Amino acid sequence: MLMWNLHFLVIGTNEIILETLVRVITSVDHWTAHSCNELESMFEYLKQHEVNVLLLSSGLEDEVERKIKTIVPFLYPETAVIAHYGGGSGLLRNEVLSVFPDAIANQNS
Amino acid sequence: MNRKEFLKKGLFGTGMFAATATLGNILNNDNDEIKKPEVLGFNHIPNTDSKIMENTILHKAHTRGHANHGWLKSYHTFSFANYHNPERMHFGVLRVLNDDTVDPGMGFGTHPHDNMEIISIPLEGDLEHKDSMGNTTVIKSGDVQVMSAGTGIFHSEYNKNKDQRVKFLQIWLYPNKRNVQPRYDQITLNVAERKNKFQQILSPNTDDEGVWIHQDAWFHIGKFDNEVTSQYQLKKKGNGVYVFVISGSASVENQLLETRDGFGIWDTDAFTITANAENTEILLMEVPMTL
């Protein structure tokens, strides 16, 4: 059973993959998500909301990813930045658990 | 106003990029599943049963994660979907090794992938593939399929047959570059060329044998008679090799491996493999140990 409330902000340029990730995230009890596709709206959202996980989806330029990985941990140390791989449900849960290992109890049940 | 508040207020327009230059590289992303530049594979339990050297890891078949979805039975060598084992996350850039069996006529509906090199190796039956690039294909035993998911690809996979199950290995490697142009390829191999020797089925080179991917990885498959010994010479310094026994029994150096066992070895230039049964089929996955 998932124990933690986690709010995700997903950034990427592929709308269908963003929708998929939001759907996968919100299918988990106590997990909520919002998506955006560019830096300005990402930072605007971070200013106004408490975000636990900033998930880097696909399509971002290398320089944009680098800036996010550099700036966000400094300005929002409470927000974990996770570069997502795979595009769907296969790795997402494990990526989150690698950062929040105590977020789930009985995760393999 | 302190420095952090100043930066927060100046994030838009040129303010953010000035902030980037100011921060330089003193801050790192510590939250990726992959933490570079550590050697990947560090999180495996030491193999106390090994007689070779310290740099090996043994995954017995029965210790893999298992998911039974009715129409799909899957064994996960590494953490995947609802199977999470912090000590089974990856071997180098090898992130997923799923051993799937799909019931007749069933399969995976259209779903997306991104930023992953995905290799499918059918073992039995016919697997039908359709993707967003217009490919509609069927792969069978002896074929190898590769997708570079890159910026995003959508595909479905179904068991083409209504009266026969399909078994296949699905392997995911982290790419050496994010957000590449998506691509699809498949080849049919001459399986006679893997009799008592290793046949290359994948490499990083477009003009080499087998399919190619965006990673410095080489895959080989061999099918051996009992007691045949082969040596594998690694292609690239710093790489490791994950040995997966598809069928039969084999010894890597002195480590006995049975069907579906996995064995990782690194910090070596070469090693020997001996088949302990007739028709022992072995998959070797040489991969970088760091991303």
Chain-chain contact of B179 with A95 (C-beta, under 8 angstroms)? no
Q: Looking at residue A101, what is its pLDDT?
A: 81
Q: Which of residues 83-122 of B touch A (CB under 8 A)?
A: 83-86, 89, 95-96, 111-116
Question: Per the structure block, which two tokens stand in for A15?
Answer: 């709308």
Q: Could you tell me the CATH number of the domain that includes residue B70? A: 2.60.120.10
CA distances from B14 to A27, A74, B200 (A): 38, 18, 50
Q: Looking at residue B234, what is its pLDDT?
A: 98
Question: Per the structure block, which two tokens stand in for B238?
Answer: 């710093």
- Judgement on whether residues B206 and B130 belong to the same structural domain of the protein: yes
Give the domain extent around B259: 32-288
Q: Looking at residue B148, what is its pLDDT?
A: 97
- Judgement on whether residues B17 and B133 belong to the same structural domain of the protein: no
Chain-chain contact of B29 with A86 (C-beta, under 8 angstroms)? no
Q: Of A37, A33, A42, A96, whose CA–CA distance to A61 is shortest?
A: A37
- Judgement on whether residues B158 and B273 belong to the same structural domain of the protein: yes
Interface contacts A/B by beta carbons within 8 Å: 141
Q: Best of A58, A78, A100 to disrupt the B interface by mutation (most B CBs within 10 Å)?
A: A58
Q: Looking at residue B45, what is its pLDDT?
A: 41
- Judgement on whether residues B13 and B109 belong to the same structural domain of the protein: no
Question: Per the structure block, which two tokens stand in for A103?
Answer: 């977020």
Segment A63-106, tens digit of pLDDT: 999 999 999 999 999 999 999 999 888 999 999 998 988 776 54
Q: Looking at residue B260, what is its pLDDT?
A: 98
**How many distinct structural domains can be found in chain B?**
2
Question: H helices of chain B, where?
Answer: 3-9, 14-23
Q: What is the mean pLDDT of each run of 10 residues along chain B (291 residues)?
A: 48 35 36 43 40 76 96 96 92 97 96 96 96 95 96 95 97 96 97 98 97 98 98 97 98 95 96 98 97 81
Q: Looking at residue A4, what is its pLDDT?
A: 80
Q: Looking at residue B2, what is its pLDDT?
A: 55
- Judgement on whether residues B131 and B267 belong to the same structural domain of the protein: yes
- Judgement on whether residues B147 and B198 belong to the same structural domain of the protein: yes
**What is the least distance, in Å, from the CA of A95 to any CA of chain B?**
5
Residue with tokens 């980037």: B20
Query: Would residue B61 be called left, alpha or beta, if left means φ above 0 and alpha means ψ between -120 and 50 degrees?
Result: alpha
Q: Which of residues 194-253 of B touch A (CB under 8 A)?
A: none
Among the partner residues B11, B82, B172, nearest to A108 by beta-carbon distance: B82
Query: How would you classify the pairing of strands A53-56 and A80-83?
Result: parallel
Q: Looking at residue B4, what is its pLDDT?
A: 54
Spatial separation of the C-alpha atoms in residues B224 and B272, rounded to whole Å: 13
Segment A6-65, tens digit of pLDDT: 999 999 999 999 999 999 999 988 999 999 999 999 999 999 999 999 999 999 999 999
- Judgement on whether residues B265 and B276 belong to the same structural domain of the protein: yes
- Judgement on whether residues B158 and B187 belong to the same structural domain of the protein: yes
- Judgement on whether residues B17 and B70 belong to the same structural domain of the protein: no
Q: Which residues in B lie closer than 8 A to residue A65 (C-beta atoms)?
A: 178
Spatial separation of the C-alpha atoms in residues A35 and A13, rounded to whole Å: 10
**DSSP-based three-state secondary structure for B198:** strand
CA distances from B129 to B66, B109, B138, B148, B184 (A): 24, 10, 6, 15, 11
Query: Would residue A108 be called left, alpha or beta, if left means φ above 0 and alpha means ψ between -120 and 50 degrees?
Result: alpha
Cα three-residue angle B239-B245-B246, rounded to 5 degrees: 120
B37 near A CB under 8 A? no
Closest residue in chain A to residue B116, using alpha carbons only = A86
B16-25: list long-range contacts, CB under 8 Å, 24+ apart: B16/A39, B16/A43, B16/A67, B16/A71, B17/A67, B19/A71, B20/A67, B20/A70, B20/A71, B23/A70, B23/A71, B23/A74, B25/A70
- Judgement on whether residues B8 and B52 belong to the same structural domain of the protein: no
Q: How high is the ipTM of this complex?
A: 0.87
DSSP A101: T
Burial class (CB in 10 A: 0-12, 13-18, 19+), B96: buried
CA distances from B104 to B89, B141, B160, B282 (A): 31, 16, 7, 26
DSSP B247: E
- Judgement on whether residues B213 and B87 belong to the same structural domain of the protein: yes
- Judgement on whether residues B187 and B276 belong to the same structural domain of the protein: yes
Chain-chain contact of A98 with B85 (C-beta, under 8 angstroms)? no
Q: Looking at residue A103, what is its pLDDT?
A: 72
Question: H helices of chain A, where?
Answer: 15-26, 39-48, 62-75, 89-99
Among the partner residues B111, B151, B154, nearest to A58 by beta-carbon distance: B151
Q: Which residues in A lie closer than 8 A to residue B152 (C-beta atoms)?
A: 14, 16-17, 58-59, 87
B5 near A CB under 8 A? no
